Structures are given as C-alpha cells and as structure tokens.
Amino acid sequence: MVYLLYGSKEFEIDNEIKKIINGANQMNISRYDLNNDDIKNVINDCETFSLFDDTKIVIADNAIMFTGSSNKDAEIIEKYLNNINKTTILIFIVHNEKIDSRKKITKLVTKNGKVIEFNDEINIESFAKELLKDYKINYQNLKLLLDRVGNNPLIIQNEIEKLKLYKDNKEISEEDIINVTTKTVDINIFKLIDSIVKKEKDTAIEIYHEMLKVNEEPIKIIIMLANQFRIMYQSKELLKKGYSEKDIASTLQIHPYRVKLAIQNSKAYDSKSLLKFLSDLADTDINIKSGKENKDLALELFILKL
C-alpha cells in the first residue's frame, strides 16, 4: 500500500501516520528525510522483505517530487509504483498545501494507493478546550497557555499533557501554567523580529532577556533570527519578480503563513539593509565562537545598532 499525505496541518498528518502504523513494532518502521536521503535507498527498503513481521512500514518525509518542483527521482518512484511490494506500506509526506496532480507519479499514487489532504484550519482554542474538557480552566488562563506555547497543535498537546500529569486536582491556575509549561522560542522569535522591524529596541531587548532567562542559547537565537531575515530577503526579491505568495512558499519550501509574515515585515527595509543584517549576524556568530565577543551581549549590541 502507498499513501501520499500532504498539507500544512502537520498535527493531522502526524495523527494519520499514527493510525496507519497502529502500534507496529518500531523495529519494523524505517524513516527517511528526502532532503538528505537518497530515494534509491527508500525504494530498496520498500522492495526488501521485513525480518520482524509480515509487513514493514517505510516513511519518506519531504517528498517534494509530488509538488511543482522538478525532481530527478520521479522515474525511480514511477517504476516502483508500477510494481508495488504488497508487504510494504510506503508513506510519502509533503509539507505543502498543494501537490501537482498532473504529474505521472501523483496519478499513479492516486490510482494504486491513497492520497489524503490536510489543509483544514484548526480552531486552536477549541482544540485546547477539548483536551482540557475534564479540567477547570478560565478563559484568561487558557489564553495565557496558548500565548506561552503557541499555536502548533503538537506542542499544545504535549504541554497540556504535562499540566495533567502535574495536577493532583482538576483546576489549572495561572501559577500552574507558568511553572509547568515551556514558553515557545518560536513565539518569541517572531515577537523579537516584529519589534526589530518596528524599531522598538527596548521591546526587542526585553524579549531577548526573557529568552535568556529560559536558558535559550544566543547562538541558536542568532541562527533563527538570520533564517527569518533570509526568508524576508528571498520573499522580497521573488515578489519583485512577480511571484505570488503561494509560488514563493512552494519555491522556498516553507509554510505560506511564514511567507505572508516575511513579506509584511520586509516592507520596512530595502534589500540592501536585509543583506547587511545577515552579514552582521554572520559576523556576530563568528565573533562569539572565536571568543571575541561575550555571547550574551553580542546579540544585544546587534539589536542596539539597528
């Protein structure tokens, strides 16, 4: 059997994979990332019989050959799809809102397997309330919880499970949330970028200090920040060339929301400034690693110089 799971809702994709696996022996599951792994190894694995069970499961993540991107691996997959090993369950995952239904490999999966889309929006508040349906939590504390952990359903589920294990009674307080949950760095990084874009240096410094308090490494923050500026620059340049937001998301292989945010933020700067930020962040990274600058102060100085 072959599955093609695609869409922007990673939580739902992950849940579908769990349903397909359905308690299978982990020794019988192979996982590949097609950004790094050769498709030939994936197919060879699919064609090999399992040593541990009658059926084996092979998961191939980042299968961009099913999107509009050109990919030399398509012919290898086509050959397998025309002669599928019935003892193997092959799962392709595409983190993109759309696949190219015109491609031969997509048509073959549709004909010989199962294609499932995961693009429906999740109401995060309703999702969290459902997970906490047996507990008492007021709206203010629910909002605090979501503000801290973000809107990724997988993270929300994990953090709520931590709260449930922590609580002896069924009432969740503000103190419980602050003591137990982990404040998501991704939330802060967007707030940090937003404050930098708006030239709100005091706010940016405050957010940075908050990140240091939860033991976030400055090098990690620098890498995340540089990545955001890179996306801002790339999105800005592609937009100039007439690309739509969806085209940019497909080209950069990132979620459309990140592109939307990047385009919005990049309006405050020209391309030259964005490249200068990237260069300065690279210099800061080198200076910290070589011992020329204090790691906690280096990024703060970068923010102050903006």
For the chain, the structural domain boundaries read 2-118, 124-180, 185-304
| pLDDT per residue rounded down to tens, the chain (306 residues) | 999 999 877 778 888 998 898 877 778 889 999 888 889 999 999 998 877 677 899 999 989 889 876 667 788 899 999 999 999 999 999 988 888 888 899 999 999 999 998 876 667 888 899 889 889 999 999 999 998 887 777 788 889 999 998 887 889 999 999 889 877 766 667 778 778 777 788 888 888 887 887 777 888 888 888 888 999 999 999 999 999 988 898 888 887 777 888 888 888 888 999 999 999 999 999 989 898 889 889 988 888 887
- The arrangement of secondary structure in 2-118, i.e. its CATH architecture, is 3-Layer(aba) Sandwich (3.40)
Q: Contacts for 99-106 with beta carbons within 8 Å, 24 or more apart? A: 99/4, 99/6, 99/66, 99/67, 100/66, 100/67, 100/68, 103/65, 103/66, 103/74, 104/74, 104/78, 105/65, 105/66, 105/74, 105/77, 105/78, 105/81, 106/4, 106/66
The arrangement of strands across the sheet holding 56-61 comes to 29-33, 56-61, 88-94, 2-7, 114-118
Residue 109: name the closest of 16, 4, 258, 263 by CA.
4
Q: Do domains 2-118 and 185-304 have the same CATH topology?
A: no
Q: Which class is 185-304 in CATH?
A: mainly alpha
97 SS3 class: coil
The single-letter code of the amino acid at 269 is Y
Q: What is the CATH number of domain 124-180?
A: 1.10.8
pTM (whole model) above 0.85 = no
